[in-house]
Amino acid sequence: MNAAAVSLLTPQQSMSSLAVNPLQHLGRKPRLLIVDDQAVNIQALYQVFAADHQVFMATSGAQALAICRDKQPDLVLLDVQMPVMDGYEVCRQIKADAQLQDLPVVFVTAHSDAEAETHGLEVGAVDFISKPFTPAVVRARVKTHLTLKLQADLLRQMAFVDGLTGVHNRRFFDERLDAEFQRARRSSGTLAVLIADVDFFKRYNDQYGHQAGDEVLRQVAQLMRSQLKRPADLISRYGGEEFACILPDTPLQGALTLAAEMEAALKAAHIAHAGSDVGPYLTLSLGVATMQPGPGRVEAELIVAADEQLYLAKSRGRGRVCGLAL
């Protein structure tokens, strides 16, 4: 669930809309992964869900785990009996993975005895459907578990949102940075971090008052968020008047361009700041760092480098962007 969707509704409205129509609230087709070593079984389930779900398919446990990590499905429909790695082991590995542990798994299998069902639930599945299945029943159960997942996602998002600005908080930033760093390492991709500071914010508070300062922080957060181009891009309130962005698969030039657009958008808003040494309006200083994670590298290097570039931007007169590729 993306942050923009959360910010448009109150928690009560969001939870209510989920109960009425969870698929609409998601803002896209739900992603289902069907795992079965028999093509005919995959095809049967595909026919049930293809019209209003994005369906991924896997015929082995290893393939299923790879798709889970790459495509981030909303729910897995998993067969039990498969060669090499059975469904129970696939489910165990999903639940042991910090990035996948909240992914609901529903076993769809020819086993119908209580012992098999109990074992499936013990390894982490949320439901157990016996073959042959009734399409209407499978659809109803999948909808129920999608609703529960979206509600849980919303509650997690609420815990990770900064109460003043409506963007994510530092805790969420730290968790997402770790996840994106690991993903970039696996895919040999480039990860960028951007740190922004509102110039002379203490002077702004002193001159216009803390309520005006709070409103300015909300405006800055929304202006910066409006410049993000992709769902994977993330903005968080990093602390005080600082904001930070995580930009997956972004080289230095792309990150510098985005940072410059954010700085220009704030200048164009013409928010008066009589106490600034930069000019008559509120401005941002931004530091950018990019890295292709590899052996021996840690995400803290990105933060330190982006912070150093922010300091450099301030030392050069503020209201500007500095960046570095590590």
Report helix, strand or coil for 281.
Answer: strand
Comparing CA positions, the residue from 165, 193, 153, 161 lying closest to residue 299 is: 193
Say if CB 99 and CB 70 are below 8 A apart. no
**How far is residue 248's CA from residue 270's CA, in Å, rounded to a whole number?**
30
Residue 112 is classified by DSSP as -
Residue 136 neighbours by CB distance under 10 Å: 9
Active site residue 241: yes
**How far is residue 133's CA from residue 47's CA, in Å, rounded to a whole number?**
13
Residue 29 is classified by DSSP as P
Which helix or strand (DSSP H or E) is residue 78 part of?
strand 75-78
**117, 122, 215, 241: the active-site residue:** 241
**How far is residue 103's CA from residue 90's CA, in Å, rounded to a whole number?**
12
**How far is residue 72's CA from residue 103's CA, in Å, rounded to a whole number?**
8
The set of catalytic residues is: 241
